[in-house]
Chains A and B, each alone.
Chain A
Amino acid sequence: MLSYFIKRLGLAAAIVSVAMFLLFCMIYLIPGDPASVALGPRATEEMRAALREKMGLNQPVLVQFWNFYIGAWTGDLGEEVLSGRPVTTVVFEQLPYTLALIVGGITWSVALGIPLGCWAAVSRGSWADRIVGILSVAVIAVPSFVIAIYALLIFAVELRWLPAIGAGEPGNLGDQLTHLILPSLAVGLGWVGYIARMVRASMLEVLEASHIRTARAFGLPDRTITYRYALSIAILPTVTLLGVGIGQMLSSAVFAEIVFARPGVGKLVYDAILTRNFPIVTGTVLITTVLFVLLNLLADLIIGALDPRVRSSF
């Protein structure tokens, strides 16, 4: 297990290193002068030059990359261009909002997707199965920003049941949850379809297994067989799917944060790209990349711990 752990950790570090290199290249290739954008039309050339120097943009590109690389591995992501606030502070202020959005999205997708998948599986071939199938494909096909806009128009503007913008009063959990309902629905609804389809397929497979047939032979009720014995096995691929899906949910979060004017890392990086606030862009992308890699590492380690075949095959 230790060898497996070391190998997976090394792979994670390599992934982060490659991501950092690609990130730096992309940032370097973006046209536009951060100093001009940041300082606005009234700044003098001297002021722009001073800011470029402060940001290290006057140095050779390799030096810039080296400073970025070393700084990142030592936890120094620099300072926000104009306010001078540490990038890590700025990013970690916003990260909880995005994590809450993703957890909310997962909650919606699990709460709706699993029962629907089970229902479709136990009603295989029936009208219910077909309806779930059609709905699943439909919600997968519709982009999250479209869902976000329609959810906002219907539930906030037309019906006025839920707030349209913001993340709720800091310190007021109830208000924050209320503000989370629509954006998390926008992030999670597409995954309802994925999960329903995945659960249905797994359930159909498991329901054919010998131990389920045995349970039926012993006269156990269908409900007990479905939810206690079949679902507990059928849900494992869904957990793996959700692990991979977190990355996609992060990109959906960008739209949700913009449409609902919520704070969060998606909105933060979007604004930072527009203003060429490079330290914030690199810091945010790097931290979310590390988070994603760590979550996948954790998932791999858990699977490795549970299944010796995975360890030996690595």
Chain B
Amino acid sequence: MSSIFKGDVSRRSVLAGAGALGAASIAFPHIAVSADGSVLTIRSYSDLQVLDPAFWLALPEADIMRSIYAPLVSNQQGDEWNWRPVAVESIEQLDDLTIAFKLRDNIGFTDGFGQMTADDVKFSIERIADPANESPYAGDWSALKEVEIKDNLSGLIHLKNKFVPLWTTTLPTPASCIVSRKAVEEIGGKIGSEPVAQSGQYILTEWVPKQKTVLKRNPDWAYEPGGYEEIHILPIEDPSTAELGFEAGDLDYTWTSVSSLPRLKENPPAGSVVEEKPSLAYVWLGMNQDNEALKDVRIRRAIQHAIDRQTVVDAAYFGAAAVGNGIIAPGLPGSRDSVTYDYDPDKARELLAEAGAEGMTVTLDILNQSERLTAAQVIQANLADVGITCEIKQNDSGTFWTLGSKDGDYFMNLQLVLSRFSMNPDPSWATVWFTPEQVGVWNWERFNNEEYKALHEEGLVESDPAKRDEIYKKMQGLMDESGCYVFLTHEVVGLIHKDTVNPGLKPNGEPLLPLFKPA
């Protein structure tokens, strides 16, 4: 069918026909949205709402902020987690508690707010750290004592205590984006969806809500320029829509769903490159140990042994993802090769019999996404095999993310839950959510272990990679032991781009917009 159409009617002729419907007289100053030219068109999974380094909401906002407010440092592209200087000429850790920085000269703020100074650095960092400002990112700078100004461009960042994740998960994130003190104070202390005093390699010139964000090369940026004259960012929530948009030629780069990866890798669209990157995220089946039906650890252990993790992951991700063994992904300190429970349905039945829980019924709450549902259905079958009836409850995201909150009325009824958390490249980012303070907040398994908490604190200040590896492995061992967790996978990140694009990507495939270049 397609060949018949292709032979007789071109896209141009269809457009001409459309024009005859009423727009024939209108000129078509169609912008050449192409990676071959000066415009890069990419997809983000959500539209921007808040472009404030202290109050941003989603990753696409972070990508934009790192482009328009020069950060002290940012991630380097490649397969290893490194950083590169952006706003600084030099930055150096003098000792465990002191970091010296010197800003590049001639970094200016737009809208007439002058040159970026060390005072702006002090303002930007202390603003996030100050508890009075209630920034959700205050934890990034929880170790901050103060920023000391040495001269117009230099200063010292003083820490209260040693803080190892500083160089991996604080400085390369929007937590080091520098805003203008004067500009932010003039607008009352918070930036909304309209940026003020931009200073990065790109500046945001246009935002059409729910449709498009346009970044243009900053003509006043005196150092390495961004790779494209313009970057158009289209908010497309659904990955399948984005994949079709790419295949139709409307996008130059997009993330794909994991389940589409095998199909795209096998049959990539013409002129495209499909890539698979290791994800830092982690997916697990959690069990609420305070729920009456799951109080007995033997029952939780039985469920651990009942689930065939390999089959669950293969079915849910069409073979694209590997089984994970904890909350810390391969490549990071603390990553494990195995868990302490294996798939053993006989042992599961034995444990259930010991606990007198044969024939029990449980509920499994999931987010209503196809991968989760498939995983849940395999889990349901695994549990049925050992005599447990499992009822799957699908929830939309608004409901799902509040199920285990102690502010709600469901948290004690919650039994099994299939969860996925995203991650940053330091193991402390994964372990923090399972501390006793997080019980009823994000620790829905209500896993309450003081030794785990102490190890988490120890990991934050331990800089020896070997010792950190030991600490974080021990913490995951405690999680295994609790019987509350069945670790499933770290997933993978799928992405596709035109072969005319050389994408600037972090090791996990997240974009670094200023580093995208024509191939």
Q: Are A93 and B134 in touch, CB under 8 angstroms?
A: no
Q: Are B50 and A165 in touch, CB under 8 angstroms?
A: no
Q: Are B30 and A84 in touch, CB under 8 angstroms?
A: no
In the complex, how many angstroms separate the beta carbon of B44 from the nearest chain A beta carbon? 11
Contact of B11 among A94, A162, A259 (CB under 8 A): A162
Contact of B401 among A32, A158, A161 (CB under 8 A): A32
Bound CA–CA A175/B29 (angstroms): 8
Bound CA–CA A67/B27 (angstroms): 49
Q: A31-B399, A40-B136, A47-B134 are in contact. Are A172 and B241 (CB under 8 A)?
A: no
Bound CA–CA A33/B404 (angstroms): 11
In the complex, how many angstroms separate the beta carbon of B338 from the nearest chain A beta carbon? 28
Main secondary structure of the interface of B (DSSP, over half): loop
Chain B's interface size range is: 35 or more
Bound CA–CA A153/B192 (angstroms): 38
Q: Are B241 and A93 in touch, CB under 8 angstroms?
A: no
Decide if B31 is an interface residue (CB 8 Å cutoff).
yes
Q: Using an 8 Å CB-CB cutoff, how does the interface string of B1-39 with A read, 1 for contact, 0 for none?
A: 010011001110011001101110011111100000000
Query: How many residues of chain A are within 8 Å of chain B by beta carbon?
Result: 64
Decide if B268 is an interface residue (CB 8 Å cutoff).
no
Which residues of A are found within 8 Å of B136, using beta-carbon distances? 39-40, 42-44, 47
Decide if B449 is an interface residue (CB 8 Å cutoff).
no
Candidate in A33, A167, A259, A273 with the most chain B CB atoms within 10 angstroms:
A33
In the complex, how many angstroms separate the beta carbon of B496 from the nearest chain A beta carbon? 13
Which residues of A are found within 8 Å of B152, using beta-carbon distances? none
Decide if A173 is an interface residue (CB 8 Å cutoff).
yes
Contact of A165 among B5, B29, B208, B234 (CB under 8 A): B234
Which residues of A are found within 8 Å of B137, using beta-carbon distances? 42
Which residues of B are found within 8 Å of A39, using beta-carbon distances? 57, 136
Decide if A221 is an interface residue (CB 8 Å cutoff).
no
Contact of A261 among B57, B241, B401, B441 (CB under 8 A): B241
Q: Are B244 and A164 in touch, CB under 8 angstroms?
A: yes
Contacts of A171-197 to chain B: CB distance below 8 A = 172-175, 177-178, 181
Bound CA–CA A38/B402 (angstroms): 11
Closest partner residue, chain A, to B405 (CB atom):
A36
Bound CA–CA A170/B31 (angstroms): 11
Which residues of B are found within 8 Å of A90, using beta-carbon distances? 209
Q: Are A167 and B433 in touch, CB under 8 angstroms?
A: no
Bound CA–CA A262/B50 (angstroms): 21
Q: Are B402 and A159 in touch, CB under 8 angstroms?
A: no
Q: Are B250 and A94 in touch, CB under 8 angstroms?
A: no
Closest partner residue, chain B, to A277 (CB atom):
B398
Decide if B397 is an interface residue (CB 8 Å cutoff).
yes
Decide if B236 is an interface residue (CB 8 Å cutoff).
yes
Closest partner residue, chain B, to A152 (CB atom):
B244
Q: Are B250 and A258 in touch, CB under 8 angstroms?
A: no
Q: Are B407 and A36 in touch, CB under 8 angstroms?
A: yes
Closest partner residue, chain A, to B407 (CB atom):
A33
Contacts of B214-258 to chain A: CB distance below 8 A = 234-238, 241-242, 244-245, 247-251
Q: Are A164 and B250 in touch, CB under 8 angstroms?
A: yes
Q: Are A165 and B30 in touch, CB under 8 angstroms?
A: no
Q: Using an 8 Å CB-CB cutoff, how does the interface string of B468-488 with A read, 1 for contact, 0 for none?
A: 000000000000000000000
Q: Are A174 and B26 in touch, CB under 8 angstroms?
A: yes
Which residues of B are found within 8 Å of A32, using beta-carbon distances? 396, 398-399, 401-402
Decide if B83 is an interface residue (CB 8 Å cutoff).
no
Decide if A83 is an interface residue (CB 8 Å cutoff).
yes
Q: A162-B11, A274-B396 are in contact. Are A157 and B244 (CB under 8 A)?
A: yes
Q: Are A163 and B248 in touch, CB under 8 angstroms?
A: yes
Decide if A50 is an interface residue (CB 8 Å cutoff).
yes
Q: Using an 8 Å CB-CB cutoff, how does the interface string of A67-100 with B read, 1 for contact, 0 for none?
A: 0000000000000101111000010011000000
Which residues of B are found within 8 Å of A271, using beta-carbon distances? 237
Q: Are A82 and B49 in touch, CB under 8 angstroms?
A: yes
Contact of A178 among B6, B15, B399 (CB under 8 A): B15
Decide if B408 is an interface residue (CB 8 Å cutoff).
yes
Bound CA–CA A156/B492 (angstroms): 28
Decide if B212 is an interface residue (CB 8 Å cutoff).
yes
Q: Are A44 and B241 in touch, CB under 8 angstroms?
A: no
Bound CA–CA A131/B400 (angstroms): 48
Told that A33-B407, A37-B398, A44-B136 touch, could you supply 4 new A-B pairs with CB distance under 8 A? A41-B442, A50-B134, A177-B18, A181-B18
User: What 8 A-B pairs are tightest by C-beta distance, nearest first?
Assistant: A164-B248, A263-B210, A165-B245, A42-B136, A156-B248, A32-B398, A161-B11, A261-B236
